[in-house]
Structure 1
């Protein structure tokens, strides 16, 4: 996909996932039921102007690139999948072999997906998805992050890391970036919206870090508008990504919506002093710049 053809983009959603299922069952779906629920929803999103979705469901957590391809072809939505492993959820979705393998060996698996394709397909990842649990970063979370850094250095893929309000985790990540001489703009701080100290987010954004506000719902847009106003006032709107962390087939249950940005947030920020150029910055230009290979 030509990055200039991304159009309006949601950078953190789940087309489908099996969060809460056993890791051995995480990739099993009722395909007919999934397609019946997902395809109309994505067609409706496309009608609302969404052209591209970054799917954040990882391997061992429900990633099925064969199904994503069929859904993309049926809806016209461009779907970008990932490489990496999900280290949050008390490490339930980290494969056992990762504990014993070296950082380099794990990285080679992810680089191979980028160079050769995922699961014997020609589908390749467009970013690296990782995650940290709450509290002091564990050795496995740091190990996977360092493997991600090595993968980035070889492939240019951006690191999107579930970190939320864990300041210790973000600082460990930044230390590892510095250790490997990687720029801060290779990293997206996922779920940064959970941080109450906006000044800290502004500080990290000013250093180059991408700040992902990915919990937008129809009922909390005022909170996001407040943060966006602060970033705009500091001329840092170009470092923000916004999304919902929705799911159109969560363990086969009803949709966790991800249409509040086109339906609610965009109209509201236009009445709050933002411009069409600001919307284009947030939803078109920033995703292009955040995920461009570096």
Structure 2
């Protein structure tokens, strides 16, 4: 079972999925927190966003995309009311998340109980739902974390440990934004110590540096990797990553996406075209250069439905 904003869906019904996208990143953390903690939404704001985003979502559906993972955590403005309405209007299934929901500096004040309190909140999000809209109790489909660059900080380690506690208690997978490959050795060490099954964690943005040695080591340890910055100008490099995955047998642990922001793209002349490019352009590119449709369906349909399935 996979949790979407309109309710749970059997994994066999998910279809083709983009595993890391954004609808509208919100830089105003107070506004974002009001939606998450107080369940208060700005209807005029949502209407404004929907007018620009819905055409892209409908175009995605027409191109063959059946589901989208919303990768914006609560502090990034995940807007459940908007996502619910967009999903109903477009027929695209949308997987929401819990996860990073407070400014990281709060760790400096609440160090002693930080991990337990954060884990408790994420567990409650799953058991009770983040919100209920039109009678639908919306549960998160995963836990989203955002790591800073450089050596893993105390707060990022604490958040990872909190996510580990919540994942073990609920079954929620962990989707972690890690931009530097060198961080993954410590990440895996923490997850091993916390006894988190490797198949419950995906290294988002593994293709940022495309460090093949680290990617292979992570995958061989049983963890998932996200090749999720498949954007214009990256096709040849991303195809090489996919060929590496098939050659070394970890293709069943790879998630694909673009990491675009729909609202931002809506203001660009070719925004809709860019947002549909993974299916309309990248897939044909892969077919022309050695991959088969069966292999691509495994990456875009089977893999994400297995990772997000409880």
Is TM > 0.5 for Structure 1 vs Structure 2? Answer: yes
Are residue 105 (structure 1) and residue 126 (structure 2) matched? no
Counterpart for residue 275 of structure 2 = 258
**TM-aligned CA deviation for residue 175 of structure 1:** 1.4
**Cα 1:119/1:281, change in 2 over 3 Å:** same
Q: How many residues align?
A: 285
Q: SS at 1:10's partner residue?
A: strand
Counterpart for residue 37 of structure 1 = 52
Structure 1 unaligned spans of 5+: 87-91
Counterpart for residue 217 of structure 1 = 231
Q: SS at 1:194's partner residue?
A: coil
Counterpart for residue 96 of structure 1 = 106
RMSD: 2.1
**TM-aligned CA deviation for residue 25 of structure 1:** 3.0
Counterpart for residue 164 of structure 2 = 149
Structure 2 unaligned spans of 5+: 1-8, 36-40
Counterpart for residue 94 of structure 2 = 79
TM-score normalised by structure 1 residue count: 0.90
**Cα 1:253/1:146, change in 2 over 3 Å:** farther
C-alpha separation in 1, matches of 2:308 and 2:207: 19
Segment of structure 1 superposing worse, 183-192 or 193-202: 193-202
Counterpart for residue 38 of structure 2 = none
Counterpart for residue 22 of structure 1 = 28
User: Over residues 53-83 of structure 1, what are the superposed CA-to-partner deviations in whole Å (9 max), with x where a residue is unaligned?
Assistant: 0001111210111111011001000000001
Counterpart for residue 14 of structure 2 = 6
Counterpart for residue 3 of structure 2 = none
**Cα 1:95/1:78, change in 2 over 3 Å:** farther
8 Å Cα contact 1:60-1:95 kept in structure 2 = no
C-alpha separation in 2, matches of 1:212 and 1:251: 21
TM-score normalised by structure 2 residue count: 0.86
**TM-aligned CA deviation for residue 132 of structure 1:** 0.7
